[in-house]
A and B are shown apart, each in its own frame.
Chain A
Amino acid sequence: MRMLRSAYVIARRDFAATVLSKTFIFFLLGPLFPILLGGVFGGIGARVATQTAQPVVAVIGSDADFVRYSIARNGLAEAVGDAQVVKLIYVPPVQHYGPATPEHILKEPRTSVRAVLYGSFEEPRLAGKIGREDPVARQMRVIVRNAQSPKRDGPTLQMVRTSAPSGNLVRDRALTAQIGQMILFFLTILLSGMLLSQLIEEKSNKIIEVIAAAAPIDALFLGKLFAMLAASVIGIVVWVGAGALLIEYVKQGGVATLPPPAVGWPAFLALGIAYFAMNYLLLGAVFLTIGAQAATVREVQTLSMPVTFLQVLFFGFASTAIGTPNSTGGLAAAIFPLSSPMTMLARAAELDELWPHAVALGWQALWVAVILHLGARMFRRTVLKSGPRVRWWRRAKA
């Protein structure tokens, strides 16, 4: 009880010191810059990509022929999407320089024409530097065939919605699992690194002596961990809000258009919050322990890179479970404490059982306590130089 009280006092101070500082504004705004830049440049890139990716085919012929080709082309676009089908442009047979020829049109740099359809409607020809199996050639064969023999309107296809997941839904859930895991990983990698340097201030200002004389070191670790978790949650609330708005804007269909997870959105989001907290606490406890050994900011900076790679390693391990959550590897990643939160979030997207999550959260909480306690002991032993001197080789002999 006393430890929790001390931890609360330390957490309150650290939280206030972090959130009420001017730099916290930059902390909040920091991740928004790449999101905004990503949105802006992504939009421009997408537009450019659309423009460059959609091949253009020039049609030399009569107005009536072009209309028939266009109807056939739109029929194909309705089935596979407009952006996936070649764009047709009309070229009158007679130009100011004389009769329009494929060579002229293909050499024209402003139009970016991939191929030219010419000849009579009954015997059209496609000219261009494309092979027979080029997607442009294949699409044009379908368009020409449909233009020459247009189908009548058939019966309307009736839709029957089933509750059983289709093959597509399973794939979507794997995608949701992947996205959820990546968000968890990036949030943790962005935020938990701060914990590396959390004890530098206390050590450099010698406040550590005052705290160590008043409260157990476990309370110091716990307080710092939860203070930074709380500050991170504020950041996440801001970022998620901004992210949701962006998704709303980009997808124009709202957040609900994302692939649905197996446990349903409310449970998935609740588990996402719980697993973020656990992932943060687990990795944070490890980083706090590692960072507590550092005496200077320079040492902390040196430690940052290996620690980041460590996180990537855990993420890589967790990602092996996507698609096969009940495989040996998937279960191992769920059991290994430092990859467990990410693995279990992916599992929530793919499988609808809820009880494994209760077990996993308890397991992860246990490991948070174990790592914190070991970290505090290590800090007392190596930094405060506390306790009897025990040499491992002597212990081994005994």
Chain B
Amino acid sequence: MLRQVQHERTGEGFAVEAVDLVKDFGETRAVDGVSLKVPAGSIYGLLGPNGAGKTTTLRILLGIIDPSSGTRRVLGRDRPLDAAAEVGYLPEERGLYPAMHTREAIAFMGALRGLPLGEARLRADRLLGEHGLGDWAKRPIRNLSKGMAQTAQLLGTIIHDPRLIILDEPFAGLDAINQARLEELIRREARNGATIIFSTHVIAHAERLCERIAIIAEGKVAFEGSVDEARGRLRPIVRLRTRAPDGPWRAAIPTDARRQGDEWIFALPEGGPEPLLKALIDGEAGIETLAIERPGLHDAFVAIAGDAAAAAMGTVEAQA
């Protein structure tokens, strides 16, 4: 399974580089100046609400569509289709030939990416066995459950040991167990040297898996960097519970602090925890509990992409 890593061919260590991508559909600008650099061998998340331009960006990177303007380089090639044999792709809207046998469907996807058919069939058998679908190898896709069909398509995506795997909303429609399995599969592929790019609107997956992320909102990249860098854009969150409901201590907390139950929640003031603690004690707050938390990616996302984008994404959280 361990593939030969050839990232030196990609130049500067990036599996994918996109510069100022623009895509117009009629009067609508779906992608507006997107620039990305995906380090080879990393797990890279594309975050954004529905309609933000994630799928269009991925389709441009794959060469399914050409951009209205801008350039992209995939595995060192200017034309993404030239690298097709080294790329795996799982589209958002899953698609397999319903009448095809599971094994043949997976082998077909491998053959399409350059594997000889005999080799592709052997690999399909092995992958199906490894993922508990061995008994379904010779049954038509239409007989598989939705989860099984998604697994089959994912196996077709990685059957040729691609160096770059692009997954569009891979967790959508999966139950908690299958989401955990998919996370593990993504980690394993990355350990074996593959670069993985996936889009999601479930921030928890990105937080758990990604080394780097890009937050896309309204067709633009609002942020690109590591998850820590995204979190670093926010000050730590303070959760405070006091015995005194009011008093001089209130001057110590920011005016935009919000009340949640009997807790006050606010960003740690610029001075840091010590002056805050002193002001609370001096102001006779009667501290019951005080917690200083590192902000989550969700908080960072809200801050970076704006409340509107966060609202569009909803409060979807991973089931896992």
Interface residues of A (CB under 8 A from B): 2, 5-6, 9-10, 12-13, 17, 21, 201-202, 205-216, 380, 384-389
Contact = CB atoms under 8 A, between A and B. Distances in A.
Counting chain B residues whose Cβ lies within 8 A of the other chain, the interface size class is 20 to 34
A210 B95 contact: yes
Interface of B: 24-26, 59, 62-69, 81, 84, 87, 89, 91, 93-100, 108-109, 111-114, 117, 156
A17 B97 CA distance: 10
Contact of B96 (A207, A213, A386, A388): A207
Given A384-B64, A388-B68, A205 B112 contact: no
Main SS of chain A's interface residues? Answer: helix
A205 B105 CA distance: 13
Contacts, number: 82
- Which one of B65, B69, B112 has the greatest number of beta carbons of chain A within 10 Å? B112
Contacts of A386: 64-66
B114 A5 contact: yes
B64 A213 contact: yes
23 contacts: A6-B112, A9-B112, A17-B97, A207-B97, A208-B95, A209-B89, A210-B112, A211-B112, A213-B62, A213-B63, A213-B84, A213-B89, A214-B84, A214-B87, A214-B113, A215-B81, A380-B65, A386-B65, A386-B66, A388-B68, A388-B69, A389-B26, A389-B68
Given A205-B98, A214-B113, A388-B68, A9 B81 contact: no
What are the 9 A-B residue pairs with the smallest beta carbon separation, nearest first?
A: A206-B95, A386-B65, A207-B95, A209-B91, A206-B93, A213-B62, A214-B112, A205-B95, A213-B89
Nearest to B160: A214
Nearest to A215: B112
A209 B111 contact: no
B25 A385 contact: yes
A21 B113 CA distance: 26
Contacts of B109: 210, 214
Contacts of B114: 2, 5
A12 B116 CA distance: 13
Given A214-B89, A386-B66, A387-B66, A209 B95 contact: yes
Given A17-B97, A206-B94, A9 B84 contact: no
Contact of A210 (B25, B91, B99, B117): B91
